């Protein structure tokens, strides 16, 4: 039996990169992992850079991978995701807010629409998903929320004013949710 055997987990932005790695690691411990992202399959075959491809890899690693298309910036899409999880599983133990994008350019050349988009995906995506599970986790007296962040937020990185600002804002969100979740056994951390 794995460390997270029978735990129910949602990993956002899990079609590739760090999110895929997190989903695979959780699956290897026996968790049921809802693999979410905005990358859909084209045709019948699962592709390696899609939520279906990652879900299949999670299942092959020993967990149960369930693919769900979700735009984490869209309230309706987020609500559908977590309604599906609670209907199918009755609970949610762990949320990993990993969804993210890059639009790197020096600040002088950066389009403010790209600034807003990066902040929306990283910060608002994390806030939307956390808000969608907050009442459930408080009611069940258990929950773990993990948010991915970056040293770009703390120290800066050339060409990443938007990304750095978003990632530091995620740290602020985490700090407040830690305080508010403590008495309900809802723990919130950043990686």
User: Annotated active-site positions, please?
Assistant: 163
Tokens 């994390």: give the residue: 126
CA angle 174, 68, 185 (to 5 degrees): 30
Distance of CA 191 to the CA centre of its chain: 12
What 3 state SS string does 93-143 have? CEEEECCCCCCCCCCCCCCHHHHHHHHHHHHHHHHHHHHHHHHHHHHHCCE
**Separation of alpha carbons 44 and 27, rounded Å:** 24
């Amino acid at each position: 039996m794995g460390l997270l055997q029978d735990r129910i987990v949602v990993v956002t932005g899990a079609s590739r990169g760090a999110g895929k790695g997190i989903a695979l690691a959780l699956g290897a411990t026996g968790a049921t992992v809802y693999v979410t992202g905005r990358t859909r399959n084209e045709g019948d075959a699962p592709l390696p850079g899609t939520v279906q491809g990652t879900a299949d890899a999670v299942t092959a690693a020993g967990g149960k991978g369930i693919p769900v298309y979700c735009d984490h910036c869209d309230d309706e899409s987020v609500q559908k995701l977590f309604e599906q999880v609670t209907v199918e599983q009755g609970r949610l133990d762990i949320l990993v807010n990993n969804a993210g994008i890059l639009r790197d350019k020096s600040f002088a050349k950066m389009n403010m629409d790209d600034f807003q988009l990066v902040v929306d995906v990283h910060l608002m995506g994390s806030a939307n998903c956390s808000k969608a599970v907050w009442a459930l986790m408080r009611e069940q007296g258990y929950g773990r929320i993990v948010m991915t962040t970056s040293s770009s937020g703390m120290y800066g990185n050339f060409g990443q004013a938007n990304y750095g600002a978003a990632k530091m804002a995620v740290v602020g969100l985490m700090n407040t949710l830690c305080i508010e979740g403590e008495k309900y056994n809802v723990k919130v951390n950043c990686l």
